[in-house]
Amino acid sequence: MYCVEFKESHFGIITDNSEKERLIKLFTWENKNISVEVITYGATIRSIKIPDKNGVIADIVIGFNNIEGYQNPLNRYFGATIGRVANRIKNGKINIDNAPFSLFINHEAHHLHGGLKGFDKVVWEHYVDGKKLILSYHSADLEEGYPGDLVVHTIFELTNTNQFLVEFKATTTKPTVVNLTNHSYFNLAGHNKGPAELYKHVVSINADRITDVDGKLLPVADTVFDLRIPKILGDIIKKVPNSDGFDHNFCITKGPEQGNTFVARLYHPDSGRVLEVYSNQPGVQFYTSNYFPENPNTYTGDKKGLKILTGKDGNYYKHGALCFETQNWPDAPNHKNFPKSILFPGETYYHYVAYKFSVNN
């Protein structure tokens, strides 16, 4: 018996570049254990509410209460669909069929998460098929520097087995680069519980290698990056070399013909909440919100200029949540030994990710 309820409502109104008002829709799924919300701005997961081992319900993804929050420059891609290419393209340069293309530079000297106005900052068209939500966007030829008209569909569905499924599909009119992801931040204690609770989480990732910023493949054995055996995050997060936490691509261990496979597991012992991630992608960017504002109540450095990032029911601070961004490896078009990143006319890009929720009593 399919026991998921699904409904549609309004979330807000924005004015686009043509001064035209656009209505932002909010869609909600509920089964007997979980409720999930998605908005059409950025094809964004806004809320996931699940009970703990005592039946107490909490929202476990960070976000905002209104559309103005999602337009805040401090928004770090909260819950959004990222594209045309997630992660970094070094120096914003790609070469396709011996033709060079320059992408918009928006992160130091590099192109990050689709550029100035990536897929996270546009209003997606919506279509409902039963209890599936299909959001669509047409990315025009040379938008942010990418060749080809790209038509993208992001498909969301909650199952009665407590899995939230996301599928990405894309087709193009010219050879182009595609690497989509969802950028949800999780804290299984509750979205606003902060770093003290995040540090209690036990994390594991099915990867025996990572990539460094220059594209080298590095084994995780005997390093802080070896998460094949579960580790308490607070025991390792401050041991990451040359970084304030994790912000690294982990190369998922899978056979050559293996499709969907286990990616990562997150467990919060106090609440008993568990998240497992499965995907067909070769990598996952594990990020621990290192660039969120410092908490002025605990920060011991110079507090001048500290910014406040206010989300749902409170402020968000550094190390307050984490991401598992399933995707291709960063800067893939510039590394011949990396998984294929070029999409050709006649092909369909396909990316599957499942977020499976449970409670350990």
Q: Which residues are annotated as a binding site for beta-D-galactose?
A: 87-88, 183-185, 247
Residues 6+ away with beta carbon under 8 Å from 242: none
Cβ count within 10 A of residue 146: 28
Residue numbers belonging to the annotated binding site: 87-88, 183-185, 247
Question: Coil, strand, or helix at residue 304?
Answer: coil
**CA triple 193-41-348, angle to 5 deg:** 110
Whole-angstrom distance, CA of residue 263 vs CA of residue 259? 12
Whole-angstrom distance, CA of residue 205 vs CA of residue 251? 9
Residue carrying the six token digits 């499942």: 354
Residues 6+ away with beta carbon under 8 Å from 300: none
Strand order in the sheet with 5-15: 5-15, 21-30, 35-39, 44-51, 57-59
Question: Which of the following is catalytic: 111, 183, 319, 351?
Answer: 183
Question: Coil, strand, or helix at residue 63?
Answer: coil
Question: Which of the following is catalytic: 157, 191, 325, 351?
Answer: 325
Whole-angstrom distance, CA of residue 36 vs CA of residue 38? 7
Residues 6+ away with beta carbon under 8 Å from 238: 245
Is there a catalytic annotation at residue 325? yes
358 burial (CB, 10 Å; 0-12 / 13-18 / 19+) is middle
Q: Encoding tokens for residue 246?
A: 């994790």
- List residues with catalytic annotation: 183, 325
